A and B are shown apart, each in its own frame.
Chain A
Amino acid sequence: DTEVTQTPKHLVMGMTNKKSLKCEQHMGHRAMYWYKQKAKKPPELMFVYSYEKLSINESVPSRFSPECPNSSLLNLHLHALQPEDSALYLCASSQDQRLAGRNYNEQFFGPGTRLTVL
Chain B
Amino acid sequence: RKEVEQDPGPFNVPEGATVAFNCTYSNSASQSFFWYRQDCRKEPKLLMSVYSSGNEDGRFTAQLNRASQYISLLIRDSKLSDSATYLCVVNIMNSGGYQKVTFGTGTKLQVIP
Where the two chains meet, the residues of A that have a C-beta atom closer than 8 Å to any C-beta of B are 33, 41-45, 48, 50, 55-56, 88, 90, 97-112
Contacts and interface: CB of A to CB of B under 8 A. Distances in A.
A56 B105 CA distance: 21
Lowest 8 CB-CB distances: which A-B pairs, in order?
A: A102-B49, A109-B43, A42-B103, A100-B31, A55-B98, A105-B32, A97-B99, A105-B91
A111 B44 CA distance: 9
Contacts of B99: 97-100, 104-105
B106 A42 contact: yes
16 contacts: A43-B44, A44-B103, A48-B101, A56-B94, A90-B43, A97-B98, A98-B97, A100-B93, A102-B49, A105-B32, A106-B46, A107-B44, A108-B46, A109-B43, A109-B44, A111-B43
Nearest to B43: A109
Contacts of B66: none
Interface of B: 31-32, 34, 41-46, 49-51, 87, 89, 91, 93-94, 96-106
B60 to A, nearest CB: 15
Contact of B101 (A33, A88, A98, A100): A33
A77 to B, nearest CB: 21
A90 B43 CA distance: 7
A97 B44 CA distance: 19
